[in-house]
Structure formats: structure tokens, C-alpha cells
Chain A
Amino acid sequence: MKTHLSFFLPFLIAVLLLGTPSDAEDRSDAEQIDFARDIRPILSENCSFCHGPDEATREAGLRLDTESGAAEVLVANDSDASELFRRLISDDADELMPPPESNRKLSKRQIDLIRRWIDAGAPWEQHWSFRPIEATSVPEAPNNKHAPIRNPIDAFVQNKLADEGISPSPQASRSTLIRRLSLDLTGLPPTPERVAAFLADERPDAYERLVDELLDSPSYGIRMAWPWLDAARYADTNGYQGDRERTMWPWRDWVVKSFNENLPFDQFTVWQLAGDLIPGATLEQKLATGFCRNHMINGEGGRIAEENRVEYVMDMSETMGTVWLGLTLNCCRCHDHKYDPISNREYYQFFAFFNQTPVNGRGGDPQTPPNLSVPSEQQSNELVRLSGQITRLDQQMREHSKTLAPRQAEWEKSHRAKLEKETQWKALNAVAVNAIHGASKVLEDQSILIDTNAANDDYTVEATTDVSTITGMRLQTLRHPTMTAGGLARSNSGNFVLTDFAVSIIDGQGGETSVKIASADATYEQNGFAVGNAFDDNPKTGWAVHEGKMVDKDHTAVFRFETPLRLTDGQSLKIIMRHQSKHVGHNIGRFRLSVTEADEPKLSSEKDDLLIALQTNPDKQTEPQRQQISREYLRTDKTYRAWESEKSQLGKQSEAIQKALPKVMVMADLPKRRETFVLNRGLYNKPADPVDANLPEFLPAVASDDSTQGDSMNRLTLAQWLVDPANPLTARVTVNRFWQQVFGVGLVKTTEDFGTQGEIPPQLELLNWLAWQFREDGWDVKNLMRLMVTSHTYRQSSKVSDRETYDRDPDNRLLGRGSRHRLPSWMLRDQALAASGLLSPVVGGPSVNTYQPPGVWEEASFGKKVYRRDEGEKLYRRSLYVFWRRIIAPTMFFDSASRQTCTVGVNRTNTPLHALQTLNDVTFVEAARALAETILMEGDLADSQRIDHIMQRVLARNASSAELDVLTNGLTRTRKQYTENPEDALQLIEVGQSPRNETLDAVEHAAWTSLCLAVLNLDETLNRE
């Protein structure tokens, strides 16, 4: 560094490193006082904390955020008589406002403003963003020779500039414009061919044609989707410990599609917040509600489910507040808003809209229901085909079974006889059943149903049998619809714990002989709950059958007696079943007892059930029994059997596809409303007053109709209210966000806050007009984008015309020049891939893992999450499709939103670490290498021509002669360096997974690669200019 720059580098470094916070802005005294601009901010900042909307902390019952409140301490036109003013200038520390200990102090200028405002009659106005959006007249603008008024945006902007005595800038060069437009609308640089065509296009509407072409490009939706994904906190994992992978990407693809198809923003809104509630909702409308479910999910052990659930609902409500209302609702979790007229109660009214999903906060399932399986087109076709085939088979089988029916009775008779010969087991004949706490009933199939709600219950069964020699007893536990989830017991999981199973012989005279059980088997034994526990000496241990999910199977145990029993006349069996474990409600709900005389008593087979069904009087058979008999009978027919097996195969194929489908978490409301309460301090376990879903009082209600009142309000009401013409916020907030996307900074800089503490836009009239225009135009997003980018304001050159003008508006808030700002990191990556020709054309589908330094996930997760880089074209997909792990976001996307909570602002910082990335990351080095290869393969060209081609691909222009000198010298120098170090050359051109072109000379290729890498790191490349 031999230039003068080195001298002031350290200072620049300071700015770079830590910046210089500055906010000074003064207004001349001669100007008229504007309440919204001059007075409300003073009152809001200095008074609202104690005299604002928050009732709980309001001092002296005085509020200064409303006209009526302030009127109590104001005498219009007389500041000296106004208590409010007197307190500002009081010498008495006890009287002075704001109180000295508050660390707030009004400047002399502010006090003067208040005085002048009171003396001018103290006019009060509603906060600007809460006023209705109405038609505004477009101002007359001065005639600027180099800055035509192309649409009303220019009229507003240039009118304001004229007021400030600043001239607008002329239009930027065509090559600058095409690059600017392409990046802003598609996130990609223009191809050299497109640039050449545009430069040669002499039609007067060449620019407009280009705009239309870009708006129609499929890349438009991809570019538009990124900020929306930031707002929607979209990620591919849950976040928190565990950070399990989810499959929300069909929702992401829907967002891209919606932008491309130009779904009007009002529908875009309603679908995402309440698509499921639209009558006759389509799959797409339901899918859209994935927006609400993109929040983090906490699956940490020890977390309280309800606490999680409340957190999710808060996240949904607050995201809605930020994205559509531009309001910081989160302040109101615990108290009334300090500055904006939203109460604590109203926060929970919003909360109540989202509080109706069946999600319970338990566990960390990354596809927590309600969810929606979203097939691809191919999968969808396949499923339709399979289901058609199954239906046809069903039809055939039904027809065929009719022809078989006449011979069923005969088969039943013979089959029963056969089974009776084969079976070991004979059901006991229960003569008395007694449950200590419950009622019992012997069912037709000889099973016993116990209706008990006791924590622990014991049963006694007395039974007879005609089996003469009894070697063992079988206990079948059977599911029943009255049990939990149709399982085996009324416990939380449908599981039971049988702590004791005892058999004895009674003689009816009071004599009782217990029977010793020698061994037992069971169809399943839960870990630590073996069947042997049911006849050990420990009354607390027992047999249970939980398999880690709700119990959904019948289970059987066989108890073998030490010595066979022979019952004599008058003797019967007594069976005692105890459930005395510490597990509440784990009492067997339905069971059947049978005995056998077989030498080796064995667990049952299905055939036993069939036999019992056949033995049951046909009038008394249950429906399942009838079906079982019929099924068994039909299966004796060969043709029927073949069809059945074919159907089962098809079913399995269909199931496999279903299983592989991505499941998107979506919204659905519980059939019965969940009650909502104000939560003290926002704590889930401190409910206070109950509240209903409702809209805030300070904003206009929806045009009244019965369905929007009281109890019947739901998310659909909320969503429709957001896009109702009476809603003053949604259109303003939305237009502002799109403006920010195109111009780098919103018309309101505080994109996330349109409340009284947010910025009052310097171009307020323009924002109001745009919001009105957007709404009147049917919320047409493409039209809005077109309007913005075809304005002269957008087309201006971003050169600083002169120092003085710059100093008057360094942040370009008045838009006297085109904006110039660094591209988001994701776009830098896409730009490099596109310019080099590496960019993969594949869009949509599951997210991909591209280049990332090794060990990043592993270090963050103690090795639990292993990064598996994808191969081939997946490495070169657009950034939108890169897998987003929430606990450790992709390292290449510096300055990105964290995707942990809703983010609508932009973050544009500048640290050396960013430079290190674009200089050293494999993606950029490989892109440079590929770009060099493309250029070198173009045949016999001079170095200067090749350099021009590189510049064209990256910057849409040729190199200037000065640039050419620098780059040519650099190339010569590097050629020499690599000639001296040929191994280095080889290493450099082997960076990245794509194969290098081995026909190219390694030294030459390396030298050009290093040049391309430098071009990819030029300030102009990093910026949209």
C-alpha cells in the first residue's frame, strides 16, 4: 500500500470496526410546528413511560398519549397557564418533569417546541400510521431537465427535494441499470447476452420491457422469497437442544410459487394466517398456514409442555404483529404498551386467535400435528394410480364374495368342529365378577369389561369350567373403545400394570386352596415389567406392555400350574387380579380367562378368537366377529385370496409413498375453544382474567357482520381484518418492506415499528400514496414492484454529485440519488455462482448442504449433528435452498436474520470476517476458477478482451482503461509468481468439487483464477450500485 490511503486507514478501521453512533437532527425554528413530527415524539419519549397507555404504571392518573388526557394539563394558546409547560421549566426539583432521576431531560429546543405548540392552540392529531389510508393528491413537481417525472413516486420525491434545494440525480448508465434491476428483481446478475441486447435496444420502452421480462422470470419468486423467509423465521430444524430436522420446505416452495404467480397480497395474507379456515380450503391454502408453524420447537427434557405451548402461541401472535401491523406486541406480554395504545389485555386477545390449535407443547416432534403431507406432482400421480387400482380390486372382491356367500353357513359349521378339535383353550364360565371400585359386565364373547376410574383397583372372578384336568390358565387383555385411545386401560397410555395374578380352588363352603403357578409367558413384556412380576412376592411390581407409544394391541399371558388341577363337584375357580402399582389408572379394562388341559400350555393364536366367534350365537356376534368369520371364509377361495394379496401389495406401495412425503406443520383449530387468559407477567402458570379473541380498540373494526362478533371470531376474521380497507397499517407496512427491498432502506427506517416510537417517514406523503395505490390496485405485488423500479427515483445514478449535497443528506433519505448498498451475503453467493456458470438450475425440493468448513455443526452440537456435504449440482443451488440449521446457521450467510424469531429489518455491517469469507470460501474460489475456465475456453483472445468478458459477466460492463492497466499488471505479476511456484498453481485450481479442465495450462488457469477472485471482491461487485 503505497498510496495516500494508508494514512487514514486506521481511522477507517475504527469506523469499520465499531462505527460512530450519531443521531443529530435539527429543524429550523421558522418552520411550522407539526404535532406528529415535532411534539408527539417528545411526549412519547419523555412522558409516556409514566403517563402513557400502561395503566399499571401510570402516575397521578395522568396520561399524555391521548388528547383528552393531555387536555387536563393544557390551556390552549397559553403556555404560561399550562401545567404541562410549567413543569418542564420548574426550578423545583420535586416538580420538574421529567423527574431528574429518570435520566430523561428535554433540550431547550424541545421545551421551546412545546411552548410554541401550546401557544398555537395545541392541535392534536392521531399518530400518522393509525390514520385511515386515503386518496392523496400527487403534488405538482418542478421540471428537472435530467430527471423526468415518470410516475407519481418521482413527483413526491422531487417536490420534496425542491423544498430542500437539492437536485435529483440523472439516470444511471444502461449497464448499471440492467445490473441493478436484475439483482433487485431476480437476485442474479444479467448475462452478457442480455446486457448486449438491452444496450442495443433502441425502442423507447426498452427499459419497461426489461422490467417485465425480469418480473416474469422464475428467479423473481426466489429473490422475493428470501426476505419473507426471514420474516417467517423459516428454518429446516427446530432449534434448541436436539434441533431436529423438519420438512417445511413445501411451504417455502409455495412462497416462491405465490410470488411468481403474483398471488395478490391480501390473499397471500389470508391464506398464510387462516387458509385452513377458508370454507372448502384447498391443499394449497392449508399448506400456506405453515407460515404460522415455522416457530422454534423446544424439545429439551425437563421443559414444561404448557410453557412451551404458550411460547409458541406468543411467537405466532408477535410475528403477525410485526409482519402486518408493524407493531411491537411483545412489550404487552406483561403490561400495557408503554408507548402505543395496545393494552396487556388486547395482547391476549390477539393471542386467543392463535391459541386454538391442538398443539400441546409436549416433545420435540419436528412434524408435530396438525400436519399436511404434501406430495410432489409425480408422487401425487402415483398415489392416484394406486388408489384407483385398489378401488377396482375392492369392487371385484365384493362382486366375487357375493357368489361365494351361499356356502358360508356350511363352512362355518365344519370349521367350528375342526377348530374345537385343535384348540387348547376353553373360555371360563364366569359366575361372579367383582371389582372393588368399578362395575363389571360379561360380554357376549365371554370377555369381561370393567368400568372403573379408580387409581388402583382389584378384581375377583369366580368361574366354572367343564375341562376336567387343568394345566394352565390364559389371560387375554383386550382393547375396548371405552379405554384410553381404544387401548387396554384407562391410564394415560392405555397401558396396565397387573401386580398380582392369583388362582385358587373354592368349594362353596368357605374352603379355599391356592394354586401354585410354576411359569408364565406373555406376548410382550415392558422393560422392568416381566409377567413373572405378577405372581412374585412383591405386591408393587407387575406385568405391563407399553411399547413407547399409546398401546394399540391386545396382549396375552399364559400361566402354567405346578401341578394339574382336577375340579370336583361343587368346586370352582377363583381368580384375583390386582393393580397396586404406583401408576395411576393402570387397571386392565377388558379381559378373557381360559383354561387348558394340554401338557404344554401355549400362548394363543388368532384361531382362538375365530373359534369363540363361531361359538357365539349369530344374533349375539359383534360386528368385528362377523367380519372375522366372513374374512376367514372368503380366504378359502383361491381367486379371492390372490386379489387380496395383490391389494395388500398395492396398499404397501401407497403407504411407502405416503411415509416418504414431507409433512408440513400447518394450522387447525380445536373443535372446542381453548380458554384464553391474560397471563400475569407473561407466565404460563399465572392465568388472570379470561379473554376472548378480539381486535384492538384503537384500530377500526371490520365492517360489521354477525360472523365477526364475539365468540365466532377466529383467525380468518383476524386475517380478513388485516387486509380490510379500513385497516391503516397492513398496506403501509407492506409497501414499506418492498421499498426496503428495492431501495435498501425503508421509507420508514424502523421497518419493524410503525408505532409512536418508530420513525416518522421523511417521505410520509409518498408512503401514504403508495399504500393507497397498492390497496386500490388489488394488492398487486408485481405492479407495485414495477411502479417502484420504473420511477426515475429508482433509475437515478448513485454517484454523489457534490460534497455539499452529500453532507445535507448523507443517508440519502430524500432520495436525491440512487441508492448504493452492499448485496446481502446470500445474493453475493448466487451472483458468484451465476457469473461463473456454476449455478444449478434445479429449484425447490428438500434443502441442500453446500460447502461449509468442517466441524462447524459438530462443534456446536457436541458431535450429535454431523455435517454431510452434498455432491454434484446440489453444491451450486441457489442460496434459498441451502439447509438452515437453526442452532448454527450456514456460515456463509453473514449479516443474515437468525431465523429464530421474525426479522423484517436489514442488517448491513462490515467486518474483516466478511472479506475473509468472500476471499477464501471454497464457493468463491471455485467460482473464480470456473469463471477463468469459461473465459480461457473462448478461443484466441487478447488478455484485455478476456478481462472485458470477465467484467461483463460480473459487472455487466467492460473494464475502464485504468482498471485494465491494474488488472493486466496484476495478471503479469501473478503469471510470474505461479510460473515460479507451479505446485501452488495446481493446488489453486483444484479447489472445489467440480472437475477442472485439464486441457488448460495450470499456471495460466491459476493466474486467471486469482484475477477472477479479485474481480469478485471489488467493491462494485459487492454492491448494488
Chain B
Amino acid sequence: MNPLQQNRQHLTRRHFFGRSATGIGTAALATLLNKDLSAESSQSRTAIGGLPSLPHFAPKAKRVIYLFQNGAPTHVDLFDWKPRLQEMHGKPVPNSYIGERRFSTMTGKADGKLLLAPIEPFKQHGESRAWVSGLMPYTAKIADELCFVKSMYTEQVNHAPAINFMLSGGEMPGRPTIGAWLTYGLGSETDELPAFVVMTSITKDTTCGQIFYDFYWGSGFLPSRYQGVKFRGSGDPVLYVSNPNGMSREVRRGWLDDIAKINEMKMDEFGDPEIATRIAQYEMSYKMQASIPELADLSSESRETLDLYGPGVEEPGTFAHNCLMARRLIERGCRFVQLMHAGWDQHNSLTTELYNQCRDTDQSSAALVMDLKRRGLLDDTLVIWGGEFGRTPFLQGDLNNRARWGRDHHPYAYSLWMAGGGVKPGVSYGQTDDLGINVAENGVHVHDFQATLLHLLGIDHERLTYRFQGRQFRLTDVHGHAVNEILA
């Protein structure tokens, strides 16, 4: 029995047979207790908080690591192999592929634009014979673990709205993001760390980075305790987690006990259950002060593991570091880890910055999947890798000036991959047309993707709702279907 459950039984006894004079917190606790007493828990950890009605059915995944690639990775250069694009290099896009489609104001109308071959050759890998670009050698090696979705499409053509759409189901700020919905619905598995953690990084010297707006991990209209806690790339990982200079942990401990004693007196006098919550809040903050440095201390990791994640892993603020931290977070009960790596917006730097971008993300993404696997965590951890839209199979720039080749925003088709957490490994789902411009088969809309993600966590996306401004809101708005074909 883990300590949490032990404590719980103590409390149960105390609750029913012992202390009840002022009934502190019992009203709030009753629901929780009922749930825990009746629930048959096969989980190694018990959720803290969350909705009593969740999960709706047995989950495949218990937690999620979302490796979000800001700026929109170029699908036709990485995972969506189009031999015909190679053949038609330098030729204008046939009009039949474009019609009246709207692109960004940088492109305007797409007719007459010249097609651009993938900038590096592709090869097939593993038993699944997955096509992966030479830009992604490490990802190629683990292709058999991955489920590629090549028929994603979205409705947004600019970054911020598209990222919001992907993460919150709405293009404007103000809706809860996936991580907020999950912690609201499923609760947390840790009382020492936040349940929803965000870490950001950017490839050094990148010229095409987009700002990480805090609404990318916002809780929207859900209470703000569900918003993601952003771990920082420098200084304390969590703001204000360190005691002030000259305040040792012993001095702090002593005063926290004293604060608790006085707060208890207050509680006895006032009977406000919020006071009990306050006492717990301060106790948890103390635990967090220990668990966060422990989390960030990589000295227990072997050299082999560190090397697996690649260069920069010991440097806070890098993608490699964040990947390793993601594993450590979910090991400690974190529900949703959202890494965001910026710099994929290659309007004129396909032959330069794309290489750096792949170098900085390929190895650690693959390492994370393999590290989770060998630790037995991949089965119930869902890993997702992808951005907010794709990039145009046609060229932005001058065909004769290779050094400045680029691709513009492309919402009509893009790729992402998922691994673990109840997703079929070694498959590729959906197809684009022979130039990678439009979805040709089994299109997956952003809301479908979100419905699938929730499904893997045991949630019916139509039934996880929250009432705001007189309406029941949900992550998938009023759309979306889980993609059953990719479920293991």
C-alpha cells in the first residue's frame, strides 16, 4: 500500500469515528471519499481530485507527453514522401490541386507557384517500411514504434490561432487547453508536483521563432488551478520555489509548523473549511520545494541515458533537457507534459535552419520514446510529436537561390506522429494526394485528433464538458470523432 492510500485510511477512520466537531472540510471531502472507497483501483497511483464520473471507460493511456513543434514542421520534407513532387520539381502547381484555396498573405494566390522537391532523400525503415527523410535519422530508427498520421488538416492559416486551435479547440485565446481539461477531468497523480507542466525551447540562432503565449497552456474558463505550470529554462524551474537567501529549510519548516498551528486555531474558531485547504496548500508548497530540485537534479541519471538524449541534455532550456525532464515528470505522477519547441517556420531557411531544427529535436524525441519503452512506461504514456499545420509543397522564394528556399503555411494537409498509450505502433494512417497538397484519404481534422487523444485517456470527448457563459463547452467544440483505426 502506498503512503497516500495509507493516509487515506487513517483519515477515513478519523473522519467517521474521530474528529468531527467542526466538520472541517468534510463536506468537500465526502464526494472524494465516496469515490475512492467504491472505486476499484487497478492503478498503481490513485488520482487526486478529478471528476467522479471519469474515466468514462478503461483508459489506454494515463498520461501524455506532447512534443509540440511550433512554427509548423514541413510534412513533405520529413514524413510525407511524395516521389511525384520530386519529378515535378520546379514546375508550376497544377491548378486542379489549388482551386480557390486561400494561403497566407505572403503567398496570396497559389497559382503559378513552383513545386519544390523534398530537400533531402527519403528511405524506408523498419518492418513497417515507413518512409522517413534523411533529416530524421533517429526517428527513422524507431519507426516501428510510431503511428504516423499523414492526413491531418486544420482551419487556421496563421500560427497563434492554429496553435490555439490544436491545443484548445478554438482559434481565439480563452478556452481551456488539453492539459487543463485532462487535469480537470482526471485529477493528478501527485501531490508534490503540478499535474500539468509546460517547458519551452528554441533552436539557437533561429530567425523564425514564434512567441510562446501563455494561453497555449491556459485554463480558459476552467478554474486557474488547472492551467499549465511553466517550468523555466533558467533560474528556478518554478517561480518563487526557492527560499529567500538566508532562509534555511529548517527555519522555514519551523515557521510553517507555526503558521499551521495558528491557522488551526483559526479553523477551530471560525469553522471555515477553506482554512483547512490553506493548511494543506502551505504543506504542499513545502513538499514542492523539495521535489522540484530533486526533479531537476539529473545526477541519478546514467551517462548512457544522458547520451541517449543527445547533446545539450544537461543544459536547462534545451529540447533534449526538456525531453528527459518530461520522462522524470511522468515518472513522478505528472498527468500532462507539454514541451514546445519553436523555430519550424522556414519561409526562407529550408536549406539552413531546417537542418538545425531537425538536429535539435530528432535524437531526443526518439530517445524519449525508447527510454519510456525500456522502463515499461510507454504502454500507458501517450507521446505526440507535431505542429499546428504543414508547409506548402510549393516554393516560397526564388528557385535559383537555393540558400533562401522556403515553404509557406499550409493548413490543408500535414503529418504528426504518436507513440505508446494505446496507439497502434508501426502504422501510417491517412494519405495526401501525390503532391502532398490535399488530404486524399482518411482525413483527420484537429477535433478528430483531440477526440482520439481523449479517447485514449478513457474520456468520451462529448461528455467532458464545462458550463460557461450559459453553455456547455468542450474541447472539441461541437465536432470531432475518435479515429478508431489507429487504436491498438
Contact = CB atoms under 8 A, between A and B. Distances in A.
A903 to B, nearest CB: 10
A898 B174 CA distance: 10
A331 interface: yes
Contacts of B119: none
A874 interface: no
B258 A14 contact: no
B211 A1019 contact: no
A1018 B262 contact: yes
B142 interface: no
B255 A1013 contact: yes
B7 interface: yes
A19 B271 CA distance: 19
Contacts of B314: none
A963 interface: yes
Contact of A1022 (B11, B209, B226, B278): B278
Given A13-B48, A914-B281, A916-B240, A887 B11 contact: no
Interface in B175-233: 183-184, 187-188, 191, 194-195, 200, 202, 209-215, 218, 223-226, 229, 232-233
A142 interface: no
A14 B11 contact: no
Contacts of A240: 160
B276 A803 contact: no
B352 interface: no
A807 B27 contact: yes
Interface in A908-923: 909-917, 919-922
Contacts of A1006: 246
Contact of B31 (A22, A806, A912, A990): A22
Given A5-B260, A984-B248, A991-B246, A803 B22 contact: yes
Nearest to A338: B471
A9 B7 contact: yes
B240 A913 contact: yes
B269 A328 contact: no
B211 A20 contact: no
A698 interface: no
Interface string A861-900: 1100000000000000000000000011101001100101
Contacts of A901: 173-174
B250 A977 contact: yes
A145 interface: no
Nearest to B5: A10
B232 A859 contact: yes
B67 interface: no
A21 B51 contact: yes
Interface string A102-146: 010000000000000000000000000000000000000000000
Interface bracket on B: 35 or more
B273 to A, nearest CB: 8
Interface stretch (A250-258, A341-349, A755-763): A755-763
B281 A915 contact: yes
A1011 B262 CA distance: 13
Nearest to B212: A860
Contacts of B487: none
Interface stretch (A25-33, A300-308, A396-404): A300-308
Contact of B15 (A8, A900, A969, A1019): A8
A970 B255 contact: yes
A14 B223 contact: no
Interface string A3-16: 11101111111111
Contacts, number: 318
Among the interface residues A9, A338, A1023, which one has the most CB atoms of the partner chain B within 10 A? A9
A753 B469 CA distance: 6
Contacts of B128: none
Contacts of B463: 103
B97 interface: no
A300 to B, nearest CB: 7
A200 interface: no
A798 B272 contact: yes
A310 to B, nearest CB: 13
B239 A911 contact: no
Contacts of A670: none
B355 interface: no
Contact of B276 (A12, A755, A970): A12
Interface in B247-306: 247-248, 250-252, 254-255, 257-266, 269-285, 287-289
Contact of B280 (A12, A854, A920, A960): A12
B112 interface: no
B280 to A, nearest CB: 3
A799 interface: yes
A713 to B, nearest CB: 27
Contacts of A1022: 278
Interface string B85-97: 0000000000000
B210 A1014 contact: no
Contact of B279 (A12, A750, A820, A887): A12
Contacts of A331: 469, 471
B438 to A, nearest CB: 22
B225 A911 contact: yes
Given A18-B188, A21-B51, A806-B271, A1018 B259 contact: yes
Contact of A758 (B15, B245, B279, B470): B470
Top 10 A-B pairs, shortest CB-CB distance:
A18-B49, A757-B470, A988-B246, A987-B246, A800-B271, A12-B280, A912-B285, A915-B285, A987-B245, A912-B284
24 contacts: A1-B283, A4-B18, A8-B11, A9-B280, A11-B11, A11-B32, A16-B277, A18-B225, A18-B226, A898-B214, A909-B223, A910-B277, A911-B281, A912-B281, A913-B238, A913-B288, A915-B281, A916-B240, A919-B252, A960-B265, A974-B251, A990-B246, A1014-B258, A1020-B266
Interface of A: 1, 3-5, 7-22, 103, 240-241, 243, 300, 302-304, 328, 331, 338-340, 750, 752-753, 755-758, 798-800, 803, 806-807, 810, 820-822, 853-856, 859-862, 887-889, 891, 894-895, 898, 900-901, 907, 909-917, 919-922, 925, 960, 962-963, 966-967, 969-970, 973-974, 977-978, 981, 983-991, 1006, 1010-1011, 1013-1014, 1017-1020, 1022-1023, 1025
Given A3-B260, A12-B277, 5 more contacts: A340-B470, A810-B273, A912-B284, A984-B247, A991-B246
